[in-house]
């Protein structure tokens, strides 16, 4: 049985993302106290141990725990199935789209593992400007998801512009 190249790419990239994501979260979880922060680049970037019971930017973090558990334990498997469904129709030589979907897939698995283990996601990448302007902490899986989605949006934008050449800058 021969496995299609795009599924091998998906497995390799998603596996790499999950491995790096889980290794970094394990390190933070076992070496940091909750809320502990280490300055990496002064006035710009810290490693800060945060537990996020919600989604991106703490979305739904104040919802009832029973709702969060049902929601966050049921949505990721559906998203993974949806990604596989989309990937089925992607051309085997469309490496950019395959890599983008693989990043989203791997990131979703990385965060889902946290949900299954802890009922929250471990975040630790903490960017800020002089601790005055802050971005919510995130992790490797989040980065892969956002990067993959950004690439898919760029692909859609480029396809739309190529279909409508009269649209200019």
Q: How far is CA 116 from the centre of its chain?
A: 16
Encoding tokens for residue 100?
A: 């983008």
Q: What is the 8-class DSSP label of residue 138? A: B
The reply to whether 94 belongs to the active site is: no
Residue 131 phi/psi, 5-degree rounding, is 55, 10
Are 45 and 133 in contact by the 8 Å Cβ rule? The answer is: no
Annotated active-site residue in 21, 114, 126, 142: 142
The reply to whether 69 belongs to the active site is: no
Residues 76 and 80: their CA atoms lie apart, in Å, by 6
Annotated active-site residue in 89, 123, 126, 160: 123
Encoding tokens for residue 148?
A: 């993959």
Which residue numbers are catalytic?
Answer: 123, 142
């Amino acid at each position: 049985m021969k496995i299609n190249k795009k599924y091998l790419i998906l497995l390799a990239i998603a596996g790499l993302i999950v491995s790096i994501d889980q290794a970094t979260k394990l390190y933070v979880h076992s070496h940091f106290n909750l809320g502990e922060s280490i300055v990496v680049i002064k006035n710009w970037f810290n490693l800060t141990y945060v537990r996020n019971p919600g989604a991106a930017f703490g979305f739904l973090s104040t919802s009832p725990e029973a709702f969060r558990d049902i929601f966050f334990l049921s949505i990721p498997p559906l998203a993974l199935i949806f990604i596989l469904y989309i990937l089925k129709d992607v051309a085997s030589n469309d490496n950019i789209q395959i890599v983008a979907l693989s990043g989203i897939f791997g990131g979703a698995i990385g965060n889902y593992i946290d949900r299954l283990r802890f009922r929250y996601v471990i975040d630790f990448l903490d960017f800020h400007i002089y601790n005055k302007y802050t971005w919510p902490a995130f992790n490797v899986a989040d980065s892969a998801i956002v990067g993959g989605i950004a690439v898919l949006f760029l692909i859609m934008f480029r396809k739309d512009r190529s279909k409508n050449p009269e649209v200019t800058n």
